Amino acid sequence: MKAKHFFPGLLMVAAIGAASLSAPMGHTQAAPPAAAQPHVDQYKSAKKAPMDDEGTRVFAQNCSRCHRTPDGFSPRISGTIVRHMRVRANLSAHDEQVLMKYFNQ
Amino acid sequence: MREAAKFGLMLLRFLNPIKLREASIAIAIAVVMMLCGARSAEAQDTPLLSGGVAFLTSTPGGNTTYQPLIEPLVALPIGQRLMIESRAVLLESFSPSANGYQHSHFVGLTYLQGDYLATPHLTLVGGSFILPFGTYNERLSPVWINNFQDGPLIVGLGLLSTGTGVGGELRGSAIQTSKYSFDYVGWFSARSGNMQFNSERSFGGRGSLYLPEQRLEIGASYDRSLQGTQENFYGIHAWWEPKDEGFRLRSEYALGQHAQGYWVETDYRTSAFGGLDSWVGRFEPLFRMQQTFRRDTVVSDGVPLVNTQRADFGLDYNLPHNTRILSSYSRQFSSTGDENIWETGIVYRFLFPAWKGKGL
């Protein structure tokens, strides 16, 4: 098979494969996505914060778009992380505040 | 006094100009850290130290290269609106030669910039910054983020040989509603021949539209080199990440004066077998398709000199504690010869305060 036929075919197979893999997932939400979990709790007390929908949304839409959720980080640097994300991900001031509240839960 | 002057002269001879420049950068960063340390120790804006440590192997055409590397990132907030941030890379490369293995090393700053949050919609950036052309250079190039070890074949298009600019950026979120948001970056770079801050005189910008309901981002980039043979580069990108489905699609197309090309990358993690943190959920299959097309053979952009097609098949494993195992197999087709490329690696991402603060 010539390379010029091989690659479009490969792309098509990959697209179909990806679509078939992702389709059933809408019905099998066995666990919340990684982004839905608070991630500063590693250094905090055992207190579990309630989910903050807007914070979860901002995190999933901005931070998780590029990288996986870190396992945990110190609350002492949450403000620095948010400011870094404000610049790198072009967050609005509103989303910056929401993200900060989300980290502080 | 005379002895002290003698010692000073000896020191200057020992430190060549390059080392002096590096030393002055380190001293400047240390001074800034000391200045902002006292104030931020009690707050949540303690300076942070992040980055990645990796050990990578690459086997193109049967020859294996080993590469241990560290990519540290430091972010230092100053007051309510300022921040200084920088990323560096330190790597050692062991590659095969006629007499066994030879090694080389590289140490360099990727960027060193100051950010000023001017208004809710505008941030001013000054210094040495990563060129925001397309998405790969600014978002995916850190070793702890990229799914594959190596960048796309078209990564050189639009990056003006250095990938960084020395000058300023205007950036921010222009508009945001529940239905859509639009963000922008505009930048200008001066010419710099400094070893650590090398850049071309150039300007450019990028705009991205994000649709949160569809989880779809589309954007366009443009930049122009203003020195030597002036060239334009154009890019478009599309990212799609359906909500709660563990599937991501990222793609980019770039067009330069002498070459063009695209890449499409997909990755997937399932939560169907006990969640993302189950042993099955930690697997992450990847696929990336790339093609490049030469318009002529003028070497200016790092894109292969003949039309090239490449498929990358990867399987990453996300271990606990921010550690990832990367593996991939690539098959590359070109008129100069087809090639198999095997790559493996392990990457640890660290993220902690630069020093122990009070409170919290």
Instruction: Give per-residue pLDDT as tens, A46-90.
Output: 333 444 688 888 888 888 888 888 888 888 999 999 999 999 999
CA-based nearest distance A48→chain B, Å: 16
Average pLDDT over all residues of chain A? 65
Domain B2-353 has CATH 1.10.10.410: no
Confidence band of A5 (pLDDT split at 50, 70, 90): low
Q: Is the pLDDT of residue B278 over 90?
A: yes
Q: Is the pLDDT of residue A12 over 50?
A: no
Confidence band of B297 (pLDDT split at 50, 70, 90): confident
- The pLDDT value recorded for residue B91 is 95
B262 contacts B252 by C-beta, under 8 angstroms: yes
Q: Between chains, do A26 and B244 touch, taking CB under 8 Å as contact? A: yes
Averaged pLDDT, B275-290:
95
pTM, whole model, 2 decimals? 0.79
Q: For every residue of B147-165, which 3-state class applies, written as one string?
A: CCCCCCHHHHCCCCCCCEE
Q: Between chains, do A31 and B245 touch, taking CB under 8 Å as contact? A: no
Averaged pLDDT, B91-97:
94
Confidence band of A6 (pLDDT split at 50, 70, 90): low
Locate B248 and state its tokens.
Answer: 């991501």
b/e per residue B158-196 (b: at least 16 CB within 10 A): bbbebbbbbbbbebbbeebeeeebebbbebbbeebeeeb
Q: Between chains, do A70 and B351 touch, taking CB under 8 Å as contact? A: yes
Confidence band of B136 (pLDDT split at 50, 70, 90): very high
The C-alpha atoms of residue B57 and residue B60 are separated, in whole angstroms, by 10
Q: Between chains, do A76 and B242 touch, taking CB under 8 Å as contact? A: no
Confidence band of B183 (pLDDT split at 50, 70, 90): very high
Cβ contacts of A45 within 8 Å, gap of 6 or more:
none
- The pLDDT value recorded for residue A69 is 80
| Per-position DSSP letters for B168-191, written without gaps between them | EEEEEEEEE-SS-EEEEEEEEEE-
- The pLDDT value recorded for residue B41 is 43
pLDDT: which is higher, A25 or B88: B88
- The pLDDT value recorded for residue B70 is 97
Q: Which of A87, A95, A104 is the best mutation test for B, with the most CBs of B within 10 A?
A: A87
**In which residue are the tokens 């392990």 written?**
B346
Averaged pLDDT, B255-269:
96
- The pLDDT value recorded for residue B301 is 83
- The pLDDT value recorded for residue B358 is 59
